Copies of this chain bind each other. A is one copy, B any other.
Amino acid sequence: MEKQTVTIYDVAREAAVSMATVSRVVNGNPNVKPATRKKVLEVIDRLDYRPNAVARGLASKKTTTVGVIIPDVTNAYFSSLARGIDDIAMMYKYNIILTNSDENGGKEVQVLNTLMAKQVDGIIFMGNQVTDELREEFKRSKAPVVLAGSVDAEKAQPSVNIDYVAAVAEAVKNLIDHGNQKIAFVSGSMDQAINHDYRLKGYKKALKDAGISYDDKLVFETDYTYKAGQSLEPALTAAGATAAFVGDDELAAGVMNGLTDAGVDVPSEFEVITSNDTKLTELVRPKMSSITQPLYDIGAVAMRLLTKLMNNETVDENTVILPYGLMKRSSTK
């Protein structure tokens, strides 16, 4: 009942050559006489031989697969990166082992270990809370690790991101320029480096530059979910905010819809600007103004960087910063 599998040995016998030769033609090694190559190729075709990647991996110590740790595929921001990653991976003949981590440190460590056990050639990590334990695992990993759209306070790992502090500062400045004095800062957990070490800094910088004093009553730390945003309305208005910078699009859609549903008009009474420029920003009404990020490219560049690392090529810059922009749509004046 087991389907028969033909091995390199069968091909060798059938073609009356050695396994080594078959291996050579399969791998495109030029040191094979054209005539033999042709003969072997014919047999391969006739027998429908397909090299076993596992055996190949064991022998060559390369699996041509990379591990990708993602907080949640269902999140538009990360899935966009993932798409970029996969496309470039495919381009370079790699496959992706994708695992959701829910940004849960324990799960991340565990997943990392099974990836390493599977001998992946490299790893792309997404998630903004690089715990010490995680950092340790990265270090001991013999496979290179690059962070995509994710920051770590101690820039130990290669990574590709945008300049979050500048981007947020610019976004907030924009809000300030529109006359807002009380601008809310809405984001996910402050434990995440991207929030406390980057976004908040950008926020504070913009405030400071404009001579507005920082008020932590205007900082809202919540979940990255639509619902969380939606239920933020009372607090937002209670705090007297007239605008908000939000760290995630789905969350932003929530606060915007929450506001609108409560009768607060966006943008005339309350402006909101979001961070990731996912499709979402175009779907909601009003359309959301946003920091723009080359999402796909962040993933793509990260994967490209990883290929170089896996190939032991020297890379001039380990931490690459891609350009961002600001897209004015209808949630800001």
Q: Does A53 make an interface contact (CB < 8 A)?
A: yes
Q: Select one of B72, B76, B95, B99 contacting A114, CB under 8 A.
A: B95
The answer to whether A54 touches B119, judged by C-beta atoms less than 8 angstroms apart, is: yes
A227 closest partner in B (C-beta):
B282
Q: Does A328 make an interface contact (CB < 8 A)?
A: no
The answer to whether A100 touches B73, judged by C-beta atoms less than 8 angstroms apart, is: no
Which of A17-25, A36-44, A81-89, A213-221 lies on the face that meets chain B?
A81-89
Nearest CB in chain B: distance from A285 CB, A: 5
The answer to whether A73 touches B65, judged by C-beta atoms less than 8 angstroms apart, is: no
The answer to whether A83 touches B54, judged by C-beta atoms less than 8 angstroms apart, is: no
Nearest CB in chain B: distance from A94 CB, A: 10
Which of A55-63, A187-195, A232-240 lies on the face that meets chain B?
A55-63
Total interface residues in chain A, CB < 8 Å:
51
Known: A117-B52, A279-B226. A2 touches B142 (CB 8 A): yes
CB under 8 Å from chain B, chain A span 105-157: 113-119, 140, 142
- When distances are taken between beta carbons in the complex, the residues of chain B under 8 Å from A271 are none
Q: Does A283 make an interface contact (CB < 8 A)?
A: yes
Known: A253-B283, A284-B285. A98 touches B74 (CB 8 A): no
- When distances are taken between beta carbons in the complex, the residues of chain B under 8 Å from A285 are 257, 260, 284-285
Q: Does A181 make an interface contact (CB < 8 A)?
A: no
